[in-house]
Structure 1
Amino acid sequence: MTAEWLVCANCAGRVSEGRCAVCRAELARLRAERGPWATLGGPAGLVALLLALVAVLALVARPA
């Protein structure tokens, strides 16, 4: 889940803006919940990982 479209019940602003203490606490909780590997969970991260794997395989399979 992302905080882009979440609206805070305390300040009525977007949680991603972090206007109040409640927003900032929720942002911190969401970031901790996602963990360090969250960037690979999205489509762009998976495509980048796949391209890196193909590049490594191409280098290994290259005739000497």
Structure 2
Amino acid sequence: MTYDRLVCANCAAPVNEGRCPVCRANRVRLQQQDEGPFGGLNPVALIALLVMLIGAMALLAHQTA
């Protein structure tokens, strides 16, 4: 999730502007979530990667049987 479109319930300003302590805390939290190994990928890309991995495992299992 990106924080560029989120609106703070505390001050009714965009979260990315960081006007109040709640906005700043949520902005930092969301930035830390993006730092993970798959943080930059969107959910569709992650699902596609998972499907490809399952397909490769099935192909490998079929060849060894």
TM range (shorter): 0.5 to 0.7
TM-score where L is the length of structure 1? 0.55
Percent identity over the alignment is: 49
TM-score where L is the length of structure 2? 0.55
For residue 19 of structure 1, give the secondary structure of its aligned residue in structure 2.
coil
Tell me the residue number matched to 2:2.
Answer: 2
Runs of 4+ in 1 over 6 A off after TM superposition: none
CA RMSD, Structure 1 to Structure 2 (Å): 1.5
Tell me the residue number matched to 1:33.
Answer: 33
For residue 27 of structure 1, give the secondary structure of its aligned residue in structure 2.
helix
- Give the drift of 1:32: 0.7
Q: Which 5+ residue runs of structure 2 have no aligned equivalent?
A: 43-65
For residue 30 of structure 1, give the secondary structure of its aligned residue in structure 2.
helix
Cα distance in 1 for partners of 2:32, 2:4 equals 16
Q: Which 5+ residue runs of structure 1 have no aligned equivalent?
A: 43-64
